[in-house]
Amino acid sequence: MARQRPDSPPLFEIVDRPDFSVESRAIARGQWPVAGLDEAGRGPLAGPVVAAAVVLDPARIPDGLDDSKRLTLAQREELFSTILATSLGVSMASVCAESIDSSNILKASLEAMRRALCGLPLAPKLALADGRDVPPGLPCPGEALVKGDRRSQSIAAASIVAKVMRDRMMTGCGLMDARYGFEVHMGYATVRHRTAITAHGAVARWHRISFAPFRVQGDEAMVADLEDASVF
């Protein structure tokens, strides 16, 4: 017998697209400007973690804002330009692979978000951070939103800016060293990337030596030299 669908409403609202409701409630409390914070690049084996802070203009919110992972490359690029053109403030910051190795990726991600917020041309009264953690050391109150890039348009805008900027940085790495295909996989652990690491070793100051497979196989044997590799 087929199972009947319950006629009671769901206990929790299913969020599909980000909106401006969290920001609107903050404005009603007198907390304006509101900045959205997000990062890109927590999972890759190479490259920096990049964060962005965005203060949207409530009167000029771009259409189509969403979690950057749910957008195509063309959509991200178009929205990136629109966000820069219409927002009240946009700032970006990164933490390099060496700094990630010296602490950990969570601390590095939160530090990148803090730096991005501090780089804004205006002082926010509230920061909305994607995830479970509020970056320490913010110059204003902060609120963490799990899946914030699918709930808050400000965070969604920050996710797009961070993703586009990081992809451009990794594309630059691919132009400097064609062996690894950074411009294709952006430093993630694809088969192509892992094969290149096995063949050529890791690039000093580009690869995250604290990540597997480097720490499994041994740092000294894996690290290759590359002149002028410290581009981050």
**Model confidence pLDDT, tens digit, residues 130-143:** 999 999 999 999 99
Cα(108)–Cα(97) distance, rounded to whole angstroms? 9
Closest CA to 204 of 183, 215, 191, 220: 220
Structure confidence at residue 16 (pLDDT): 82
Q: How does DSSP classify residue 69? A: G
Cα(159)–Cα(40) distance, rounded to whole angstroms? 7
Structure confidence at residue 7 (pLDDT): 57
Chain center to CA of 97: 15
The count of C-alpha atoms lying within 13 angstroms of the C-alpha of 217, restricted to the half-sphere facing its C-beta, is 14
3-class DSSP state for residue 130? strand
Query: Structural domain boundaries of the chain?
Result: 21-173, 175-224
Question: Other C-beta atoms within 10 Å of 138: how many?
Answer: 19
- In the chain, where does DSSP find H-type helix? 21-28, 73-86, 97-102, 105-118, 153-176, 182-185, 191-200, 214-217, 219-222
Considering just the CA atoms, what is the radius of gyration of the chain in Å? Answer: 20
Question: Residue 63: phi, psi to the nearest 5?
Answer: -75, 145
Cα(146)–Cα(185) distance, rounded to whole angstroms? 26
Structure confidence at residue 213 (pLDDT): 78
0.85 cut: is pTM over it? Answer: yes
Instruction: Provide, rounded to the nearest whole percent, the portion of the chain with pLDDT above 90.
Output: 84
Q: Contact 119/53 with Cβ under 8 angstroms?
A: yes
Structure confidence at residue 202 (pLDDT): 93
pLDDT exceeds cutoff 90 at 36: yes
Cα(66)–Cα(107) distance, rounded to whole angstroms? 25
The helix (run of H) or strand (run of E) holding residue 40 is strand 34-40
Q: Thinking of the domain 21-173, which architecture would CATH place it in?
A: 2-Layer Sandwich (3.30)
Structure confidence at residue 216 (pLDDT): 52
